[in-house]
Amino acid sequence: MRNPAVVLSDAMQPVQEIVRAAHAGGVDAQTLELVHLRVSQINGCSACVDGGARAARRAGVDEERLAAVAAWRDAPYFTAAERAALALAEAATRLADRPDPVGDEVWDAAATYFDEKQLAAIVLMVGVTNLFNRLNVTTRQPAGAWG
């Protein structure tokens, strides 16, 4: 089956509007693409990992950082702000892993580097990425399916 947002073509445009809104929220494009890639890695979405790596490259993420996204905590290639965004992305994706999935420590760390509008952009990117991951994984979209 094709991705449901393609099958029900009226769904794709509103979802893409959320992506555009996230990119208009004042967060560096590299950070948003790293967030998208990390969420997709967690969810095992090959189509989104592949597409996310391509988008991250277009945003200027170099190969060293791209290769280390899954191990961002131990890799020296990420800024403190990127680490805070990645921690928030992971927490907001793994909601069932702990009773308080997005705890104050994670949120406060992100709020140190990002204002409300930027936090909204990161949270929207996490949410829309999770949506795409679930659609693509459920319908077994392969890597490369999206260009």
The larger pLDDT score, comparing residue 144 to residue 34, is at 34
- 68 class by beta-carbon count within 10 Å (0-12 exposed, 13-18 middle, 19+ buried): middle
pLDDT one-digit tens code per residue, 12-27: 899 999 999 999 999 9
Question: 0.85 cut: is pTM over it?
Answer: yes
CATH class label, 16-138: mainly alpha
In the prediction, which pLDDT does 146 show? 62
Mean pLDDT of all residues in 53-72:
97
The answer to whether residues 75 and 68 touch, using CB atoms and an 8 Å cutoff, is: yes
Write out the two tokens for 146. Answer: 């999206």
Q: Is pLDDT of 44 > 80?
A: yes
Residue 101's alpha-carbon distances to 19, 20, 82, in angstroms, are 23, 26, 19
d(CA 125, CA 43): 14
SS3 call for 146: coil
Residue ranges per domain, the chain? 16-138
pLDDT one-digit tens code per residue, 75-106: 999 999 999 999 999 999 999 988 999 999 99
Write out the two tokens for 8. Answer: 């029900």
In the prediction, which pLDDT does 147 show? 52
